[in-house]
Amino acid sequence: MQSNPPQSAADLGFPRCRCCERRPPTLSHTALAIAKQRQPPRSAASSQKPTPERRPLAAGIILEDHCRGGGPPPVAEKEPVYDINRLPLDPGERQSIASYPYNDQDAVRRSYILKGPFQPYAHEFESRKIGDRDRQFNPIWFYKYIIKKKAAFCFVCYLKWNRIDTLDLHVGGVTSAHNAAQERYNLFMTPHGANDDKIVKVDNEERRLYMIRLTYSLRCLRFLLQQGLAFRGHDETLKWLAANNEEVDKFVLKNAPGNCKLTSSDIQKEIIQCCAMETRDQIIKEIGEYHYTILADESSDVSHKEQLALCLRYVDKSGRPCERFLVIVHVSDTTSSSLKEAIQSLLVSHGLTITQIRGQGYDGASNMKGEIKGLKTLIMKESPSAYYVHCFAHQLQLVLVAVAKQNDDCVWFFDRVSLLLNIVGSSCKRHGMLRHHQLDNVIKALECGILESGSGLNQEMGLPRPGETRWGSHYKTVVNMIAMYPTIRDVLIALGQDTSQRGEWPKIHTMVGVLESFDFIFSAHLMLDILRHTNELSECLQRRDQDILNAMSLIRFAKSKMQQMRSEGWVSFLQKVTIFCNKYGVQVPGMEQNYVPYGRSARFAQNQTNDDHFKREVYIGVIDKISQELDSRFDEVNMELLTCMAALNPANSFASFDANKLHRLAEFYPNDFSSSDLLRLDLQLETFIDDMRKDEILLTSRVERIFSAMTFIKNKLRNKMGDSLLDDCLLTFIERDIFLQLSEEEIIDTFMAIRRRMPDKNKK
Residues 614, 483 share a domain: yes
- Out of 84-88, 418-422, 556-560, 680-684, which region has the weakest mean confidence (pLDDT)? 84-88
In a domain, 292, yes or no: yes
What are the distances in angstroms from CA 243 to CA 218, 229, 598? 17, 20, 70
- Out of 275-289, 399-413, 433-447, which region has the weakest mean confidence (pLDDT)? 433-447
Mode of pairing for the β-strands spanning 145-146 and 133-136: unpaired
For the stretch 4-32, what's the b/e string if a residue is b when 16 or more beta carbons lie within 10 angstroms of its beta carbon?
A: eebebbbbbbbbbbbbbbbbbeeeebbbe
Beta bridge partners of 130: 133
Specify the amino acid at residue 756.
R
Distance in angstroms (rounded) separating the CA atoms of residues 361 and 297:
9
- What is the predicted pLDDT for the residue at 275? 92
DSSP string, 196-226: HHHHS---HHHHHHHHHHHHHHHHHHHHHHH
pLDDT tens figures, 201-232: 556 777 888 888 888 888 888 888 888 887 76
Listed in sequence order, the residues at least 6 apart from 134 whose beta carbon sits closer than 8 Å to its beta carbon are: 127, 128
DSSP string, 76-112: PP---SS-GGG--SSGGG---GGGS-GGGHHHHHHHH
pTM for the full predicted model = 0.61
Residues 136, 95 share a domain: yes
Of residues 155 and 628, more confidence is placed in: 628
- Out of 175-179, 233-237, 457-461, 740-744, which region has the weakest mean confidence (pLDDT)? 457-461
pLDDT of 178 higher than 70? no
Residues 435, 576 share a domain: yes
In a domain, 247, yes or no: no
Distance in angstroms (rounded) separating the CA atoms of residues 226 and 733:
5
pLDDT band, residue 155 (cuts 50/70/90): low
pLDDT tens figures, 476-524: 888 888 888 888 888 888 888 888 878 888 888 988 999 999 999 999 9
pLDDT of 32 higher than 50? no
Collapsing DSSP states into helix, strand and coil, what is residue 153? strand
- Out of 345-359, 520-534, 575-589, which region has the weakest mean confidence (pLDDT)? 345-359
pLDDT band, residue 653 (cuts 50/70/90): low
Residues 663, 617 share a domain: no
Beta bridge partners of 311: 295, 325
pLDDT band, residue 48 (cuts 50/70/90): very low
Distance in angstroms (rounded) separating the CA atoms of residues 58 and 691:
36
pLDDT tens figures, 583-621: 999 999 999 999 888 877 777 778 889 999 999 999 999
Distance in angstroms (rounded) separating the CA atoms of residues 374 and 362:
11
In a domain, 271, yes or no: no
pLDDT of 289 higher than 50? yes
Distance in angstroms (rounded) separating the CA atoms of residues 441 and 447:
10
In the predicted model, what is the mean pLDDT of residues 419-444?
73
pLDDT band, residue 575 (cuts 50/70/90): very high
pLDDT of 423 higher than 60? yes
pLDDT of 629 higher than 70? yes
Of residues 243 and 669, more confidence is placed in: 669
Contact 255, 220 (CB under 8 A): no
Of residues 400 and 122, more confidence is placed in: 400
**Which of 349, 352, 12 shows the shortest CA–CA distance to 153?**
12
The CATH number linked to 338 is 3.30.420.10
Distance in angstroms (rounded) separating the CA atoms of residues 299 and 305:
8
pLDDT of 158 higher than 80? no
- What is the predicted pLDDT for the residue at 70? 37
Collapsing DSSP states into helix, strand and coil, what is residue 228? coil
pLDDT of 715 higher than 50? yes
Distance in angstroms (rounded) separating the CA atoms of residues 17 and 172:
12
Tell me how many domains the chain contains. Answer: 4
Of residues 549 and 467, more confidence is placed in: 549
Other Cβ atoms within 10 Å of 514 Cβ, number: 21
Q: What dihedral do alpha carbons 94, 97, 102, 107 form, nearest 10°? A: 70
Residues 575, 617 share a domain: yes
Distance in angstroms (rounded) separating the CA atoms of residues 37 and 623:
66
pLDDT band, residue 721 (cuts 50/70/90): confident
Q: What are phi and psi of 41, to 5 degrees?
A: -65, 145
pLDDT band, residue 279 (cuts 50/70/90): very high
Residues 495, 604 share a domain: yes
- What is the predicted pLDDT for the residue at 341? 84
- What is the predicted pLDDT for the residue at 606? 80
Beta bridge partners of 146: 151
Residues 447, 389 share a domain: no
In a domain, 345, yes or no: yes
Q: Which contacts (CB < 8 Å, 24+ apart) does range 418-422 have?
A: 419/507, 419/511, 419/514, 420/463, 420/481, 420/488, 420/511, 420/514, 420/515, 421/463, 421/465, 421/477
Percent above pLDDT 70 for the chain: 62
What are the distances in angstroms from CA 484 to CA 352, 440, 463, 478, 515? 54, 12, 9, 10, 12
In a domain, 742, yes or no: no
- What is the predicted pLDDT for the residue at 91? 63
In a domain, 108, yes or no: yes
Residues 667, 577 share a domain: no
- What is the predicted pLDDT for the residue at 588? 93
Residues 416, 517 share a domain: yes
Other Cβ atoms within 10 Å of 250 Cβ, number: 12
The helix (run of H) or strand (run of E) holding residue 310 is strand 306-315
pLDDT of 25 higher than 50? no
In a domain, 677, yes or no: yes
Residues 487, 605 share a domain: yes
Of residues 732 and 722, more confidence is placed in: 732
What is the average pLDDT score of the chain? 71
Beta bridge partners of 325: 311
In a domain, 578, yes or no: yes
pLDDT of 33 higher than 50? no
- What is the predicted pLDDT for the residue at 13? 42
- Ramachandran class of 617: left when φ > 0, alpha when ψ lies in -120 to 50, beta otherwise: alpha
Distance in angstroms (rounded) separating the CA atoms of residues 160 and 680:
41
Q: What are phi and psi of 151, to 5 degrees?
A: -160, 165
Residues 727, 619 share a domain: no
**End-to-end Cα, the chain, rounded Å:** 36
Specify the amino acid at residue 525.
H
pLDDT of 30 higher than 50? no
Cα 350 to the chain's mean position, in Å?
A: 14
Q: In terms of residue numbers, what domain contains 643?
A: 637-692
pLDDT band, residue 118 (cuts 50/70/90): low
Domain boundary among 198, 227, 246: 198
Of residues 720 and 55, more confidence is placed in: 720
Please, what sign has the CA dihedral across residues 604, 608, 611, 613?
negative
Radius of gyration of the chain (CA): 32
Cα 408 to the chain's mean position, in Å?
A: 32
Domain boundary among 615, 633, 651: 633
pLDDT of 149 higher than 80? no
Residues 724, 654 share a domain: no
Of residues 313 and 131, more confidence is placed in: 313
Q: Which contacts (CB < 8 Å, 24+ apart) does range 380-384 have?
A: 382/354, 382/355, 383/354, 383/355, 383/356, 383/357, 383/358, 384/671
**Which of 475, 580, 590, 606 shows the shortest CA–CA distance to 537?**
475
Of residues 264 and 591, more confidence is placed in: 591
- What is the predicted pLDDT for the residue at 202? 56
pLDDT of 526 higher than 80? yes
